[in-house]
Amino acid sequence: MKRLALIALMAIAVLSMAYANGDTEAAADSGPVTIEYWTTQTQSDRLATIGVLVDTFQVMNPDITVKVIAVDENQMATQMNTSASAGTLPALLEAATPNTVAFGTAGLLNEAAATDLINDIGADEFYDGVLKLNQTGSGGNYYSVPFHGWVQGIWYRADWFEKAGLNPPKKWDDIIKAAEYFYDPGNNQYGILVGTMAEAYAEQCFTQFAMSNGAGLFDRDGKLIFNSPEMKEALEYYAELAQYNPPGPQTWRARDYYIQNKMAMFFYSTYIMDDLALAENAAGSLTSENFAELAGTSFDPDLVKNTRMAPIITNTQDAGYGTIVSLAFPDTGNAAETAAAQKFVRYLFSPNAYITFLHMAPGGMNPVIKDIAVNPRFQQDPKGLFENYGTDKMAEIINGLDSIETFGIVDGKRIDAASVIYSKQIIPQMIYKITQEGMSVDKAMDWAEAEMRKLM
Amino acid sequence: MVKARSIPGKIGLFLLIILIVTFSIFPFLQIISTSLKYQWDWGNPSLIPTQVNPDAYKELLNIGQDEKNVPQSVLDLLDDSDLTKQQKNEILDKYKDSSDVFPFLKYFRNSLSLSTLAAIFSLLLAIMGAYSFSRLRYRGRAVIQRGVLFVYMIGGILLLIPLYRIAVALGFLATPAGTFTALLIIYLVQTLPVSLYMLGNFFRTIPYSIEEAALIEGVSRFGIIWRIVIPLSWSAIVTVFIYCFMIAWNEFLFASVFLRGYEQLYTLPIGLRSLFVSKNAIWDRIMAGSMLTALPVIVLFMAIQKNLTGGLSEGGVKG
Amino acid sequence: MKKTRSLEQKEAMLGWWLVLPATIIILSLILYPIITNIISSFFKVSLMDRDTFVGLENYRNIVSDPEFWRSVMITLVYVVGTTLGTTLVGLGVAIVMNKTFPLRGLVRSLILLPYVAPVFSVVYAWKFIFDPVNGIFMDVMVERLGLFEQRFNLIGNPETALWVAIVFSIWKNFPFTYLMILARLQAIDKSMYEAADVDGAGRWQQFRFITMPELYFVLGSIVLLRVIWNFNKFEDIFLLTDNLKVLSIYTYFKAFVGVVDLGQGSALVILQFALLIGFILFYVKKVLKW
């Protein structure tokens, strides 16, 4: 009986293997050039849109087959490094600019291909600030082609602020005053969400504070000036602010508390517009008859209406922050593949294709090409954001892309070492040490400085 | 061990069993609860949803899903292109089809074939090897026996890059079948040392006298393995099978790197992860996906686990 | 005389043949990575350019880092805690499950759940349960029972994260231990207990003098395997606590975040390997007295 079971199991296994193989062989038909396009857009609805773009492109260019492979952002480094070591890099890569720059400085990218493409489109078509983020150390060259971007800011409950008579969270003093005011852990309500877990989100939040206090990692000659009074002041302020966080180390996922009415402010990108629209959608599914049952739950139908964004933080100067997602051409050593990838990117930048792409996530994906931002088709987004927030507010947000400040650009000059520091997450680890492990600011800064020096 | 128990003893046993079961399944109650909650209900700490929401399951299993709305930008894009009407319709139909949110059955089939094959091959090789360790004497045995486990201690992420390099260099990753095989071999390597070790230890506890009798009757070594050793260690074999199966069933890192180019081979952990990395509010879908991933295994093991109750006693061994 | 020798030779040949397939597969796939690791641990490895030889610098970097030694300590606590916990819980459950009671089949299946469910999904269930703001645990402890004054982040706080990770690992892995022990328990000859009953031995004495010696071997190997597994454990801890710096996570941050530093990573893995061997030798010598 038992041996019979074993035999049966084996039969199933062999059959299922035959099945799996038979199924897969059909997929291997290829045109003269097949390129891999890695994208960090992993959601199925976004991939469906990319599928439309690829299909259309392939009909127009029957010689080129584009194979879309979705790679999770957190997996990107692993995937790039394994395929670089085995010589199986993709021809085209869509990833956050800090990553593409880090890959570029590691020598994984074909800079000439990116530079050609930018010049082909016209460098002056792009927002200046956006191009700067992609610049190599030598002038006029680029690691990758900026594609779309988001802006970060403090999102807050305008109605709560109004009722309490507080100023919108723009200046340092106002932010901390509001955070303290709304912090009420006894009633499970918290003042603010800033990143305190050792991951990129913490650096994103902190960078904006550091910049607004005029603190940088490097001077324009590339000398490390991390250990400055301005940086220390920003860190001390950040640590104080973090006391009004929900308990323990926190990251962007805690934005759920805001949607549940348990938090007054949180740092987030413009992607939240999409999420909030979704929340509103979900709320819309409730009928008035089951509303009665909702008494006492944390649901607020007016949440979206009462949410505002403060994109700029001010102390000694104004600072905005955001991230550009860029298209890079990894160095595959195959000219035909790179040429095909360039052709595809050129197509992605044609107005209709570009708007289609951006409309996958209205608010989250904003154009880096100036003309597109004012294109009426672009402003008719499927989630009605331009309608909700107003064209002016949206224009202000998109223009924010032009003034993104990061530690990697000093007076318009790129400092390559900054991208390595970013990718090694030294600043998030330092923030974790201060806010969670109770290390003193001085000691944590010394630790971070030593780690940074090791990388240079 | 069936003995008459006193009443307090029975109650004690009963309470103990309840405690063990609660400890084991509590997190699964949380999974089920979250998978059935509406988004506005996630802030509610109770395990009972305010209102039951089956949408996540419907969406993942593609039950009653409408076709996707086509945004204006996509229509504009197609209208302004030189494509023929037929080409446009094909592209649009593909877009509207929403069955690929979580192709559960496909992922499930891939995971099942990979895990079952890995477990069976690992078992076959390990039964032979473990028998050799425990019954046969030859030079070098101790070295191999210890070396196998020793080698196993080099763990972790660092094996990934060299192994990927080998697989590419040998051309395994050029075809889906080759990729499948490469991953299968890797799971074999990951499970074999432990399978060998555990079975070897178990075989050693089987009284040699039974085999001796068979040997004298002229049964071959293979006959002994097949007719005596395997039936006698059935419960250990099932345990090792479960171990190997679970390694392959849950493995993510190697699968994500090796299968990257072959979407049709994706396994459940990869599918679950790609559900997760979407930035929208999706806890209900993730938890529903987790339930759907765990459920088949539970059913499978409920069937297999009958074999665990039998074990040696059923084989009628009395020394 | 000659005849027995040839029989021995035949047996030896058979032994080799039986173990050969497994050995070949393991060696062919493990040897190359091990050798490349050892070599690259002496180099500054670049993915595109040529590597540069740096001697022992990678090692010196690690050994001089106090954080490294701290993670060694955390790893030791984690390994000892999880191994002891998993084994004891597994043993207790196996003994209970070896008794007869109604619905035994169902119960035996249910308690396999933690082991068979994907790590990825159960980790998030745990996070939900212990979520400081929305989780049922804090709700019950603070709001319902009033045991604590304030809500806190049990999984997130560095002091408590280690203990949550240990309990999680016990929860996740005890079913496997229980299965191994149960398999052995069922193989114990029932007549030994009957004889002991006749001799008037109590429950404890039967456990001590019949059950334990029979389980000795199986427990020894379970502990050994658990030590190896948990020493290199990465995914469970990383997904659950984000920043509990056991060795594997220290390695991850040091060498695999951003652009991979293979030289540093290799050196770390080799040190990790050496520590594990040391730990195991100590265990085998002092604890098992083999």
Spatial distance between the Cα atoms of C24 and C30, rounded to a whole number of angstroms = 10
Show which of residues 191-220 on chain A sit within 8 Å of chain B, judged by CB atoms: none
For A16, counting Cβ atoms within 10 Å of its Cβ (0-12 exposed, 13-18 middle, 19+ buried), the class is: middle
Q: What is the DSSP letter of A330?
A: B
- pLDDT, residue A7, reads 52
Q: What's the sign of the alpha-carbon dihedral A198, A202, A204, A207?
A: negative
Closest Cα in chain C, distance from residue B66 (Å) = 28
Helices (H) and strands (E) in chain B, counts: 16, 0
Closest Cα in chain A, distance from residue C60 (Å) = 13
Kindly report which listed range (A190-199, B38-47, B242-251, C44-53) carries the lowest average pLDDT score: C44-53
Q: Which of chain A's residues have a Cβ under 8 Å away from the Cβ of C242? A: 197-199, 249
Q: Is the pLDDT of residue C7 over 80?
A: no
Mean pLDDT of chain A, nearest integer: 85
Beta carbons of A247 and C151 less than 8 Å apart: yes
Looking at the DSSP assignment, which residues form a beta bridge with residue A96? A325
Stated pTM of the model = 0.84
Beta strand A64-70 pairing with A33-39: parallel
Higher per-residue pLDDT: A141 or C221: A141
Higher per-residue pLDDT: A264 or A200: A264
- pLDDT, residue B156, reads 62
pLDDT tier, C265 (very low <50, low <70, confident <90, very high otherwise): confident
Q: Is the pLDDT of residue A418 over 70?
A: yes
Q: Tell me how far apart the 2 most distant CA atoms of chain B are, in Å.
A: 86
Are C192 and B245 in contact by the 8 Å Cβ rule? The answer is no
Spatial distance between the Cα atoms of C222 and C89, rounded to a whole number of angstroms = 13
- pLDDT, residue C1, reads 46
Of all residues in chain A, the one with the smallest CA distance to C142 is A186
Q: Is the pLDDT of residue A132 over 80?
A: yes
- Domain boundaries for CATH 3.40.190.10 within chain A: 31-143+323-391, 151-284+294-320+405-455
Of B73, B177, B280, the CB nearest to A355: B73
Q: Is the pLDDT of residue B282 over 80?
A: no
Beta carbons of C242 and A199 less than 8 Å apart: yes
Mean pLDDT of chain B, nearest integer: 82
Spatial distance between the Cα atoms of B85 and A373, rounded to a whole number of angstroms = 30
Q: Is C153 on the interface with A (CB under 8 A)?
A: yes
Q: Domain map of chain B by residue range?
A: 65-98, 104-315
Of C221, C235, C269, the CB nearest to B154: C269
Beta carbons of A356 and B74 less than 8 Å apart: yes
Q: Is C120 on the interface with A (CB under 8 A)?
A: no
Q: Is C12 on the interface with B (CB under 8 A)?
A: yes
Q: Is A335 on the interface with B (CB under 8 A)?
A: no
Please report, as a single letter, which amino acid is at residue A78.
T
Kindly report which listed range (A219-223, A232-236, A254-258, A383-387) carries the lowest average pLDDT score: A383-387
Beta carbons of B261 and A12 less than 8 Å apart: no
Spatial distance between the Cα atoms of B255 and B110, rounded to a whole number of angstroms = 11
Higher per-residue pLDDT: C127 or C28: C127
Spatial distance between the Cα atoms of A209 and C12, rounded to a whole number of angstroms = 73
Q: Which of chain C's residues have a Cβ under 8 Å away from the Cβ of A260? A: 134
Q: What is the mean pLDDT of residues A337-359?
A: 95
Beta carbons of C115 and B246 less than 8 Å apart: yes
Beta carbons of A107 and C242 less than 8 Å apart: no
- pLDDT, residue B242, reads 85
Beta carbons of B95 and A48 less than 8 Å apart: yes
Q: Return the structure tokens found at C202.
A: 């109590």
Beta-carbon count within 10 A of C235 CB: 17
**In this prediction, what percent of chain C has a pLDDT beyond 70?**
95
- pLDDT, residue A136, reads 86
- pLDDT, residue A20, reads 43
Q: Is the pLDDT of residue A5 over 70?
A: no
Q: Return the structure tokens found at A111.
A: 């800079």
Q: Which of chain A's residues have a Cβ under 8 Å away from the Cβ of B92? A: 52
**In this prediction, what percent of chain A has a pLDDT beyond 70?**
88
Q: Is B64 on the interface with C (CB under 8 A)?
A: no
- pLDDT, residue A202, reads 94
Are A192 and A264 in contact by the 8 Å Cβ rule? The answer is yes
Of all residues in chain C, the one with the smallest CA distance to B253 is C235
Half-sphere exposure of A38 (CA within 13 A, CB side): 24
Are C114 and C171 in contact by the 8 Å Cβ rule? The answer is yes
Q: Is the pLDDT of residue B208 over 70?
A: yes
Of all residues in chain A, the one with the smallest CA distance to B117 is A13
Q: Is A298 on the interface with B (CB under 8 A)?
A: yes
Q: Which residues contact B218 (CB under 8 A, 6 or more apart)?
A: none
Chains near A, with 3+ CB pairs < 8 A? B, C
Beta carbons of A249 and C257 less than 8 Å apart: no
Kindly report which listed range (A16-30, C209-223, C255-269) carries the lowest average pLDDT score: A16-30
Spatial distance between the Cα atoms of B211 and B317, rounded to a whole number of angstroms = 12
Show which of residues 120-159 on chain A sit within 8 Å of chain B, judged by CB atoms: none
Closest Cα in chain B, distance from residue C105 (Å) = 7
Are B271 and A30 in contact by the 8 Å Cβ rule? The answer is no
Q: What is the mean pLDDT of residues C74-90?
A: 95
CATH topology of domain A31-143+323-391: D-Maltodextrin-Binding Protein; domain 2 (3.40.190)
Beta-carbon count within 10 A of A107 CB: 14
Q: What's the sign of the alpha-carbon dihedral A115, A117, A121, A126?
A: negative
Spatial distance between the Cα atoms of B79 and B65, rounded to a whole number of angstroms = 27
Q: What is the mean pLDDT of residues C39-65?
A: 83
CATH 3.40.30.10: does it fit domain A151-284+294-320+405-455? no
Best mutation target among A37, A38, A42, A93 (most B Cβ atoms within 10 Å) is A42
Q: Is the pLDDT of residue A154 over 90?
A: yes
Q: What is the pLDDT of residues A234-273, one digit of tens each?
A: 999 999 999 999 999 998 888 889 888 899 999 998 888 8
pLDDT tier, B100 (very low <50, low <70, confident <90, very high otherwise): low
Are B74 and B95 in contact by the 8 Å Cβ rule? The answer is yes
- pLDDT, residue B263, reads 82
Q: Is C137 on the interface with A (CB under 8 A)?
A: no
pLDDT tier, A181 (very low <50, low <70, confident <90, very high otherwise): very high
Of B152, B201, B298, the CB nearest to C228: B152
Q: What is the mean pLDDT of residues A183-203?
A: 92
Q: Is C232 on the interface with B (CB under 8 A)?
A: yes
Q: What is the DSSP letter of A360?
A: T
Of all residues in chain B, the one with the smallest CA distance to A277 is B280
Best mutation target among A3, A21, A81 (most B Cβ atoms within 10 Å) is A21
Nearest CA-CA partner of B284 in A306, A29, A285, A55: A285
- The highest-confidence range among A265-279, B239-253, B305-319, by mean pLDDT, is B239-253
Closest Cα in chain B, distance from residue C146 (Å) = 16
Spatial distance between the Cα atoms of C236 and C220, rounded to a whole number of angstroms = 24
Phi, psi of C152 (to 5 degrees): -145, 170
Of B102, B231, B278, the CB nearest to A2: B231
Q: Is C48 on the interface with B (CB under 8 A)?
A: no
Q: ipTM value, please give it.
A: 0.85
Q: What is the pLDDT of residues C90-138, one digit of tens each?
A: 999 999 998 888 888 888 888 888 988 878 778 889 988 999 998 899 9
Q: Which CATH class is domain B104-315?
A: mainly alpha
Q: Which residues contact A161 (CB under 8 A, 6 or more apart)?
A: A167, A168, A169, A178, A264
Are A240 and A330 in contact by the 8 Å Cβ rule? The answer is no
pLDDT tier, B4 (very low <50, low <70, confident <90, very high otherwise): low
Closest Cα in chain B, distance from residue C64 (Å) = 22
Half-sphere exposure of A63 (CA within 13 A, CB side): 8
Q: Is the pLDDT of residue A227 over 60?
A: yes
Q: What is the mean pLDDT of residues A134-159?
A: 90
Closest Cα in chain C, distance from residue B27 (Å) = 6
Looking at the DSSP assignment, which residues form a beta bridge with residue A154? A267, A310
Beta carbons of A298 and B76 less than 8 Å apart: no
Of C36, C128, C225, the CB nearest to B34: C128
Q: Which residues contact A395 (CB under 8 A, 6 or more apart)?
A: A373, A374
Of C180, C183, C193, the CB nearest to B1: C193
Beta carbons of A17 and B113 less than 8 Å apart: yes
Closest Cα in chain A, distance from residue C156 (Å) = 5
Beta carbons of B131 and C109 less than 8 Å apart: no
Count of pairs with CB atoms under 8 A, one residue in A, one in B: 196
Q: What is the DSSP string of A29-75?
A: ---SEEEEEEES--SHHHHHHHHHHHHHHHHH-TTEEEEEEE--GGG
Spatial distance between the Cα atoms of A399 and B147, rounded to a whole number of angstroms = 63
Chains near B, with 3+ CB pairs < 8 A? A, C
Q: Which residues contact A380 (CB under 8 A, 6 or more apart)?
A: A386, B72
- The highest-confidence range among A351-365, B195-209, C175-189, C252-266, by mean pLDDT, is A351-365
Spatial distance between the Cα atoms of B59 and B289, rounded to a whole number of angstroms = 10
Closest Cα in chain C, distance from residue B65 (Å) = 25
Q: Is the pLDDT of residue B315 over 50?
A: no
- pLDDT, residue A326, reads 96
Of A55, A70, A297, the CB nearest to B41: A297
Kindly report which listed range (A241-255, B208-222, B279-293, C178-192) carries the lowest average pLDDT score: B279-293
Q: What is the pLDDT of residues B24-77, one digit of tens each?
A: 999 999 999 999 988 778 888 888 888 888 888 888 887 777 666 788 888 888
Of C124, C186, C277, the CB nearest to B312: C186
